[in-house]
Each structure stands twice: as C-alpha cells, then as structure tokens.
C-alpha cells in the first residue's frame, strides 16, 4: 500500500450529506472481479449524462486532477463494498474531508491508502471559501490553507498504518502463536464452535 | 463491573490488545458471496497465503443470480463470471458452498441464519453491510470490506476498535397490521441514518421480546440503515427453539452445554449504555418512506413533509433533491400514492413469516390492473420450499404475482429485475437510495403487509383497513 505522509493539493467540494456507496459507484459497475479501473465510474450517475458524455458542471469534471474531496456529513453510508474506496483511490483521491463518515467505509479507506479526515462543517466551509490548495499533514494531524490551520483526530493505529503503508495481514500474522492458543482455549470452552455435525 | 451483552461477546473474542484502543478480535464464522469476495481470494493467492480455517466459511451466490428459470444460462456475462469465480474459489479452498443449483442457496443472511450457521455469542462477519441481521440471534455480526475479508481468510481475526453501546428500549405492544419493519423505519426516522454511527445497538423491551425470530432479524437487518455497526438482541427460548435441529447448529452432544452458555448472554440489569433511545411501540403506525434514504419516512396517515421548512441548510438541500427525484410534492397524502411495481423479498423481508403475512393480505384478491409487475422473491430455497408446502405460491400467483427463484433481485437490481426510469415501487427491501432498484427508479420502503396491500390497491395504502 502507498504510504501517506503529507499532501498539498486543490480540493473539490460536494455540498451533499449522506453521499452513499451507490452514488460513489453505481451498482452496474460492481460486477468486476478486479480492484483496478473503477476510477472512471466514480460518481458515474452525476458525472455523465444519459449518453455517457461528461457533464461539464460536475465538480470532478471541472477538476479531473483533484486529490482531496470535501463533502457533507455521513460520507460513505450504505454498503460495505470496497468498490467505493477503490474507485476513489483509482481516480486519485487521497484525502476525504467530511464532518462524519459511515463506519465501514471509514475502515475501508485505510486499507486503500485514503485518509478519511473529520473536520467540523464550519471548518470545511472556511476551507472552501478560499480557492487555494490545502495541505494535509498526517504526522502532525493538521490541515492548513494559508493562515487557516485545523487540528484533526485519528486513531494511532490507523495513522501508523497510513504513514508506513503497512500490510496489516503481515503484521497480524506475527501473532500467529497467540491466535492459535486463543483458538484452542475458545474451542475447548465452546466445543460446538469447532465442529459441524452436518 | 456490570456488563452489556456486547461487552461480554467482545471480551470472549479478544486475542490481543494493541494498547491503543484497538484489539485483535477472533472471528468465529464468515459468510461469503460472489460480489465482494473475488478480490479477497485473489489477494490471498497473490500473497501466497493459506486460508486459516476453511470450516469457518459458508458461501452462497445471491446478488447477481437470475430469479427466473435456473436451468437457463446466465445471460449477463459479467454476473456469470462473478458466480463462476466464486464456484472456483469455493472448490479450490474447499469451502462449504450452496451454489446456484443447491436447494439451500439464498440471500446470504437469510440462508446463514436458517442453516444454524449463526449462533448466539459468536462473532460473525460478511462482506455485506446487512450482516447486522444476525444480531437477532445474539451474535456480534457486522459487515466488512474486501480487504477485511482477505484479512479474516488469512488470520481468522480482525483489528477492531470497540464501538459505543446504545440501547433502544421498545416498550408496549405493536398494533395489528404493524410489524418489525414499521418499528425499524420509525426508529430510523427518529434517530436519523447517522443516529447509530459508531454504535452497537442492543434492542430490549416488551415489543422486542414479543417479536418472532424473523421480526428480530428484520429489526437487526435495518440497524445498519441507522448507521450502527451492529444490532443485538439477547438470545432467549425463542432463539433456542429456532436453532434446535438446524443442520449447522450444535448437535445433541453439545446442545445442553451450548444452551447453558447462551443463557448467560444478556446485559446485566445494572449495565451502563453510552446512550439510550426509548420508543413506544403502541404508537407506531405502518411506515412508508417518501424520500431517498431510509430516514425520510413517515406514518401512513401523514403527508409528504414540507422540506423547504427544514432549518438545517444541508439537510434541506438533500431533502429538496430527494423530493425532486422521487417526484412528490409536499402535502401529498402518503396513502394513495400510485405504484407501478411491487417487490416482496430481500434479507430484510424475504423469510417465511414475511411471505405468510403478505399472503394473508393477498388471499382471495387480485393485484390492481395498473400494477405492471408484482414480484415475490423468497429469501432462500428453503423459504421457497416451505412456502410452497403451505400453498403460499398459489395464493400469490392467483392474485397476479410472479413467484421467483431466491436471490437479492430487485433489492439492488444487479440482476435483470429492475425498475425503469420514473417507475415507482412499494418494496420490502432496505434501501431507497437513488437508482438502488434501477436507474431513475423510485422506491418506497414498506413492510410485507403494506407491499401486499399496495399491490391490491395499486397505490400505497393503510393495510390496517384491509385486515
Ligand atoms: S437482499 Fe439486498 S440488502 Fe440483502 S444482501 Fe441482497 S442486496 Fe444486500
């Protein structure tokens, strides 16, 4: 996974709350057995008209190089499908700034090198008001733009994973012995979990 | 210290504490389907890793499968590839798999619970948000993404942080004609689709105890629509009766011991929750959504709200947009909105009791001539067979419904069952997002009884008048 440290880029703003996973990737594009290539269908129903031509006024069509996305609360609600962060990552989005995120989507972002970052709606408004690049500094948990500067909260383990671009499975498999010991005891206590009679 | 049910299950599954608020959580059981798994299998094999415990997996195909004649080949090449990929992966990893030609195939959450794969006190995951359904049996069950599926395949664990714990206390009794679906739609309208964010919700109270297992599954199923991580209901005699004798439930050699353990799985009476919501079940009417997310709902006696009066500007904008999409004007009574299609099915309301309740309304009546299509899609092959044994299929077919093969179908319209642009549907599914049931389609979420009533009258209507 690509590590994330700092990023300075222009942000696109979608003033919509509850942006759901069906909006991020309409389901006709979910029938893939690969992770890559979904960037072109990100927000497809907003981005293209019925004939498949890009709508010039849609924010991502205006800024195809955007790496930071700002939006309203409860971003990523709906399904657990990772196609949504895959599409965002494939499009080139590295940071999403919103007042709140749906839980599963939030977790999925970290597995795909995307930083979901919570700022207050008021702070997002201030960032948006100036049409200037934004700097996101993960190490110091800070978002700056000119003289504006906001602190954000993030779980230490999530931060570390992004900073180092860690493979979580590799890390957890180092605890193999502990998992095995747990499993033995667990199945001793609840023997019906270890076997199926059918 | 007194503990909640969630505290107890969580503690039972902590393998390792990372000391930063996150733990390594052991995962007992894992449901798999065709849409979210291919990239996880691919990742596992690319990294050259073994599956930790293949017995912990139960797989089926549901999202893409056609609900028409199963002997015909799948016409959509992409759906076909996804299903064949699952077939192959299940073979390669020796997984328990109920494929398209298996009588036990069905919507993953309907199928898992009716096979006894879901048990009280276990941790259960699936690459699907409605995994929350299984909380109805007292399992800590939640949806995960594809990277996490791969993580569970490889390690039988997840790195997880404990959620906050919310209690929803439902006092009183539900009225006749009002069910678990109405209860949960009323709850979501009250707390909002973000109301349960970062929470595990435990349901308690008289009305919850009185729900059937199917009703409890409907309630926990839609808990995710309130943004919660999982729903939980303490197991009781009803739960044990549901499980007894199911193919994958504990056999007689373990039964007594299992039940004795399961009985300890309830929140201590003095346990503290982070927050609490109370609902009076006796006041709930049949519910209908009027907008494009599940919190935009109202009792059947209400009218479409005047969203322009909403104080919060972001909310106002999204509600205005919702009304424009759904094609309704403020002040329009919900009772009387004409519908084009009816969908009865999904992991929310595709179980036997749901079909029985709908059939009781349909019996001896005909669907309105203006209804273009009324679909009944049983949640699984088992549900279908049991329903046919009771003659429910005949009741539906005589009324003009189509009786289909099991699958997700028009819940998310990944197969050929879809709404066309502008078509309006009374649907027992769980999401009324824009385009969810087909591009431009308009969804009204309702209970099975209400969907049946809408089919007969040709419009959304108060089923209590038809009882
Ligand atoms: S029935 Fe609908 S909500 Fe349930 S698993 Fe299938 S698509 Fe998802």
- Please check whether residue A33 lies inside any domain of the structure: yes
Nearest of A150, B217, B302, B433 to residue B425 by alpha carbon? B433
User: In chain B, what percentage of residues exceed pLDDT 90?
Assistant: 94
Ligand 1 centroid from CA B431, angstroms: 9
Ligand 1 centroid from CA B345, angstroms: 9
List C-alpha distances in Å: B424 to B248, B399, B433.
Answer: 40, 20, 13
CA distance A37 to chain B (A): 13
- Please check whether residue A135 lies inside any domain of the structure: yes
- Please check whether residue A94 lies inside any domain of the structure: yes
Whether A35 and A132 map to the same domain: the answer is yes
Nearest of B65, B150, B53 to residue B99 by alpha carbon? B65
Strands laid side by side in the B230-232 sheet: B230-232, B199-204, B164-171, B275-280
Dihedral sign, CA of A120, A126, A129, A131?
negative
Burial A170-184 (b: 16+ CB within 10 A, else e): ebbeebeeebeebbe
CA distance B191 to chain A (A): 14
Whether A84 and A17 map to the same domain: the answer is yes
Has the ipTM of the complex gone over 0.85? Answer: yes
- Does this model's pTM top 0.80? My answer is yes
The confidence band for A63, taking pLDDT boundaries of 50, 70 and 90, is confident
Whether A179 and A91 map to the same domain: the answer is no
Whether A108 and A144 map to the same domain: the answer is yes
How confident is the model over B6-22, as pLDDT tens digits? 999 999 999 999 998 99
- Using CA atoms, how far apart are residues A121 and A149, in angstroms rounded to an integer? 14
- Has residue A157 got a pLDDT over 90? no
Number of domains comprising chain A = 2
Instruction: Tell me which residues have their CB closer than 6 angstroms to ligand 1.
Output: B 62-63, 107-109, 128, 130, 346-347, 408, 411-412, 429-430
Whether A180 and A100 map to the same domain: the answer is no
**Looking up tokens 């979501």, which residue turns up?**
B188
Find the mean pLDDT for residues B77-85: 94
Contact present, B139 and B243 (Cβ < 8 Å): no
- Please check whether residue A178 lies inside any domain of the structure: yes
* Bridge partner list, B297: B289
Say what the pLDDT of residue B192 is: 96
Q: Which residues, including other chains, have CB under 8 Å from residue B426's CB and lie 6 or more apart?
A: B339, B341, B342, B343, B444, B446, B450, B451, B454, B455, B460
- Has residue A190 got a pLDDT over 80? yes
Q: What angle do CA A77, A83, A87 make, to 5 degrees?
A: 100
- Please check whether residue A106 lies inside any domain of the structure: yes
- Has residue A81 got a pLDDT over 90? no
Whether A76 and A129 map to the same domain: the answer is yes
Ligand 1 centroid from CA B113, angstroms: 14
Give A2's contacts in chain B (Cβ within 8 Å): none
List C-alpha distances in Å: B175 to B172, B180, B281, B412.
Answer: 9, 11, 8, 30
Whether chain A has a CB inside 8 Å of the CB on B18: the answer is yes
Find the mean pLDDT for residues A151-160: 92
Q: What angle do CA B390, B395, B400 make, to 5 degrees?
A: 150
Ligand 1 centroid from CA B346, angstroms: 6
Find the mean pLDDT for residues B407-415: 93
- Please check whether residue A1 lies inside any domain of the structure: no
Give A85's contacts in chain B (Cβ within 8 Å): 145
Give B129's contacts in chain A (Cβ within 8 Å): 78-80, 104
- Has residue A198 got a pLDDT over 70? no
Contact B315 A17 (CB under 8 A): yes
For A149, the 3-state DSSP assignment is: strand
Count of other CB atoms within 10 angstroms of residue B179: 28
- Reported for A35-41, long-range contacts at CB under 8 A and 24+ positions apart, including other chains, are A35/A86, A35/B39, A35/B146, A36/A86, A36/A90, A37/A90, A38/A83, A38/A86, A38/A87, A38/A90, A39/A87, A39/A88, A39/A89, A39/A90, A39/A91, A39/A92, A40/A90, A40/A91, A41/A87
- Has residue B454 got a pLDDT over 90? yes
* Bridge partner list, A48: A54
How confident is the model over B215-241, as pLDDT tens digits? 999 999 999 999 999 999 999 999 999
- Please check whether residue A44 lies inside any domain of the structure: yes
- Has residue A167 got a pLDDT over 90? no
- Has residue A186 got a pLDDT over 90? yes
Whether A134 and A155 map to the same domain: the answer is yes
Contact B145 A17 (CB under 8 A): no
Whether A82 and A109 map to the same domain: the answer is yes
Find the mean pLDDT for residues B437-454: 97
Token pair for residue B78? Answer: 């992409």
Whether A174 and A83 map to the same domain: the answer is no
Q: What angle do CA A26, B192, B331 make, to 5 degrees?
A: 90
Whether A52 and A146 map to the same domain: the answer is yes
How confident is the model over B330-339, as pLDDT tens digits? 999 999 999 9
* Least-confidence region, from A71-80, B190-199, B387-396: A71-80
Say what the pLDDT of residue A37 is: 87
- Has residue A197 got a pLDDT over 70? no
Strands laid side by side in the A142-145 sheet: A6-9, A134-137, A142-145, A148-151
- Please check whether residue A73 lies inside any domain of the structure: yes
Whether A50 and A120 map to the same domain: the answer is yes
Contact present, B409 and B67 (Cβ < 8 Å): yes
Range of the domain at A47: 6-166
CA distance B314 to chain A (A): 7
Nearest of B170, B162, B235 to residue B200 by alpha carbon? B162
- Using CA atoms, how far apart are residues B355 and A1, in angstroms rounded to an integer? 47
How confident is the model over B272-326, as pLDDT tens digits? 999 999 999 999 999 999 999 999 999 999 999 999 999 988 889 889 999 999 9
- Using CA atoms, how far apart are residues B121 and B135, in angstroms rounded to an integer? 9
Whether A160 and A192 map to the same domain: the answer is no
Say what the pLDDT of residue B355 is: 98
Nearest of B400, B408, B365, B153 to residue A172 by alpha carbon? B153
Give the start-end residues of each E strand in chain A. Answer: 6-9, 11-14, 68-71, 95-98, 115-118, 134-137, 142-145, 148-151
The DSSP symbol for B135 reads: G
Whether chain A has a CB inside 8 Å of the CB on B150: the answer is yes
CATH for A136: 3.20.19.10
Contact A15 B314 (CB under 8 A): yes
- Using CA atoms, how far apart are residues A105 and A96, in angstroms rounded to an integer? 11
């Amino acid at each position: 996974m690509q590590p994330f440290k700092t990023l300075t880029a222009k942000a696109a703003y979608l003033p919509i709350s509850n942006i759901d996973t069906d909006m991020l990737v309409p389901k006709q594009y979910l029938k893939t057995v690969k992770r890559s290539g979904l960037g072109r269908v990100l927000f497809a129903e907003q981005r293209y008209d019925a004939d498949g031509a890009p709508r010039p006024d849609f924010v991502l069509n205006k800024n195809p190089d955007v790496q930071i996305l700002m939006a309203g609360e409860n971003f990523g609600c709906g399904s657990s499908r990772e196609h949504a962060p895959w599409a965002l990552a494939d499009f080139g989005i590295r940071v999403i700034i919103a007042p709140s995120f749906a839980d599963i989507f939030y977790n999925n972002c970290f597995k795909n090198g995307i930083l979901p970052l919570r700022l207050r709606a008021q702070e997002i408004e201030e960032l948006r008001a100036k049409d200037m690049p934004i700097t996101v500094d993960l190490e110091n948990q800070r978002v700056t733009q000119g003289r504006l500067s906001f602190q954000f909260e993030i779980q230490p383990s999530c931060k570390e994973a992004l900073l180092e671009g860690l493979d979580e499975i590799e890390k957890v498999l180092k605890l193999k012995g502990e998992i095995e010991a747990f499993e033995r005891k667990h199945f001793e206590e609840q023997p019906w979990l270890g076997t199926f009679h059918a | 210290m007194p503990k909640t049910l969630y505290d107890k299950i969580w503690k039972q599954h902590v393998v390792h504490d990372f000391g930063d608020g996150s733990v390594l959580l052991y995962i007992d059981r894992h449901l798999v389907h065709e849409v979210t798994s291919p990239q996880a299998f691919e990742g596992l094999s690319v990294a050259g890793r073994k599956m930790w415990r293949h017995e912990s997996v139960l797989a089926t195909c549901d999202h893409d499968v056609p609900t028409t004649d199963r002997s015909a080949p799948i016409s959509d090449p992409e759906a076909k590839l996804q299903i064949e990929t699952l077939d192959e992966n299940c073979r390669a990893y020796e997984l328990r798999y109920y494929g398209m030609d298996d009588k036990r195939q069905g919507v993953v959450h309907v199928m898992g619970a009716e096979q006894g794969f879901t048990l009280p006190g276990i941790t259960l995951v699936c690459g699907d948000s409605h995994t929350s359904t299984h909380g109805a049996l007292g399992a800590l069950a939640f949806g995960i993404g594809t990277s996490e599926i791969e993580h569970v395949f490889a390690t039988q664990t997840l790195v997880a942080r404990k959620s906050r714990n919310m209690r929803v206390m439902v006092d009183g009794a539900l009225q006749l004609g009002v069910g678990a679906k109405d209860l949960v739609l009323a709850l979501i309208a009250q707390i909002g689709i973000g109301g349960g964010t970062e929470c595990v919700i435990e349901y308690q109270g008289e009305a919850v105890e009185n729900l059937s297992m199917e009703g409890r599954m409907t309630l926990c199923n839609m808990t995710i629509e309130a943004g919660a991580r999982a729903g939980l209901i303490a197991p009781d005699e009803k739960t044990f009766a549901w499980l007894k004798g199911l193919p994958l439930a504990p056999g007689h050699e373990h039964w007594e011991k299992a039940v004795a353990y399961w009985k300890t799985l309830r929140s201590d009476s003095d346990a503290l929750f982070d927050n609490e919501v109370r609902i009076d079940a006796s006041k709930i009417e049949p519910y209908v959504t009027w907008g494009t997310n599940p919190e935009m709902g109202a009792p059947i006696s209400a009218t479409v709200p005047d969203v322009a009066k909403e104080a919060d500007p972001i909310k106002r904008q999204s509600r205005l947009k919702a009304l424009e999409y759904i094609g309704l004007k403020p002040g329009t009574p919900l009772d009387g909105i004409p519908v084009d299609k009816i969908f009865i099915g999904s992991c929310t309301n595709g179980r036997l009791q749901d079909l029985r309740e709908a059939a009781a309304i349909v019996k001896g009546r005909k669907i309105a001539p203006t209804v273009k299509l009324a679909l009944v899609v049983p949640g699984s092959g088992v549900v279908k067979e049991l329903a046919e044994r009771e003659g429910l299929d005949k009741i539906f077919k005589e009324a003009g419904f189509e009786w289909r093969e099991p699958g997700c179908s028009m819940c998310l319209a990944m197969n050929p069952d879809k709404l066309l642009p502008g078509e309006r549907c009374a649907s027992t599914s769980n999401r009324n997002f824009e385009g969810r049931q087909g591009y431009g389609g308009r969804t009204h979420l309702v209970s099975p009884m209400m969907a049946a009533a809408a089919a007969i009258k040709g419009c959304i209507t108060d089923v209590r008048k038809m009882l």
